[in-house]
Homo-oligomer: A and B are copies of this chain.
Amino acid sequence: VDNATAPVAVETVERVQAAIGELNFSPQAAARGLATRRTNTIGLIIDEIGRDFFPPMLRGIEAAAQEGGFGLLIHSTGVGSRPPTTPYRAVGEHNTDGLIVFTDGLPDAEIIRLHKNRFPMVLLHRTPPNSLSIPHVVFANKAGARMMVDHLIEAHGYKRIAFLAGPQGNEDSGWRELGYREALEAHRIPIDAALIAAGGFDEKIAQATVGEWLAKGMEVDAIFAADDDSAFGAIRALQQSGKRIPEDVAVAGFDDILPSRYLSTPLTTVRAPIEEAGYQAARTLVQLIRSRRAKSIELLLPTELVIRRSCGCNA
């Protein structure tokens, strides 16, 4: 970060540098911010700090922010937060030069308001409300789910495939469910509503759901969970009922978080480039702040099938 407005005598530069070192000087961000109307900080708004998903995402964001010379201000609006003092306003407009909004970290109305004010913003793992042209980065969720369910059907001949959905209204989960449905339809397998239930992107919730299925004797060939965490829950419920994986019931997930490969029966899943998504989001935001315009509105990052043992393959 160099001012370098004009050429200066070398000697002058040296004297100034020496003085800086001696006096232990560093410019005051507030004053600079007031004068330039830029804070050199980007904000990340997230609903909740997750366990396995969050660290790689943050790594990616941090890397791009640092590369761009920006600081990173984090604000989590999660349950248990303080009263409704419009908390995100603090991290919004006048505190940062732009915002990364993770999934449902911000209400639609607030996103719309910020966009109307032309405030730089990139959405991560969600699309803009009202089809506004706000840059966003998302996974190829539908394609990934489609590949997975195709595999379950074609390679293993499973017919009764259950789907453990994510939280209500979650977009990632919605697309994954659509891929699941399309795969079944493409193979002329009727969709059984009883085979679709809530997994909540959460191990405990998924475990409870699958536990109920088992209790009422539901027959399933395979369970496709909307994310790896809920796949873990499914596995746990299955094991508690003495079912073997994949011999009795196959299981597949989505995300490929780190623990997945280390399960006693390694999890077949769809790999999502979590860190890359964070990196691209922050990179896009930095460009947006600098040039006031984004190269592209939607960044759709590819997903990849990761075949391990839990689906019935030996690999």
Contact = CB atoms under 8 A, between A and B. Distances in A.
Interface of A: 1, 24, 26-31, 33-34, 37, 39-41, 49-52, 54-55, 58-59, 62-63, 66-67, 71-76, 80-82, 85, 87, 89-95, 113, 117, 232, 258-259, 262, 264
Nearest to A48: B59
A70 to B, nearest CB: 9
A105 to B, nearest CB: 13
A92 B26 contact: yes
A55 B258 CA distance: 14
Copies in the complex: 2
Contact of A89 (B26, B30, B264): B26
A30 B39 contact: yes
A304 to B, nearest CB: 21
A91 B71 contact: yes
A58 B62 contact: no
Contact of A73 (B30, B51, B73, B76): B73
Given A62-B49, A87-B66, A29 B72 contact: no
A190 to B, nearest CB: 36
B63 A80 contact: yes
A278 B34 CA distance: 32
Contacts of A232: 262
A95 B81 contact: no
A258 to B, nearest CB: 6
Contacts of A94: 26-30
A264 B55 CA distance: 24
Contacts of A117: 24
A55 B92 CA distance: 23
30 contacts: A1-B85, A24-B117, A26-B89, A26-B92, A26-B94, A28-B34, A29-B30, A29-B39, A29-B90, A29-B94, A30-B33, A30-B37, A30-B94, A31-B34, A34-B34, A49-B55, A49-B59, A49-B62, A50-B55, A51-B52, A59-B76, A62-B74, A66-B87, A67-B82, A71-B73, A71-B95, A72-B74, A73-B73, A73-B74, A264-B264
A113 to B, nearest CB: 7
Give me the 9 closest cross-chain CB pairs, A-B, nearest first: A30-B33, A28-B94, A30-B34, A264-B264, A29-B95, A29-B94, A30-B30, A49-B59, A31-B34
Given A33-B33, A71-B73, A26 B93 contact: yes
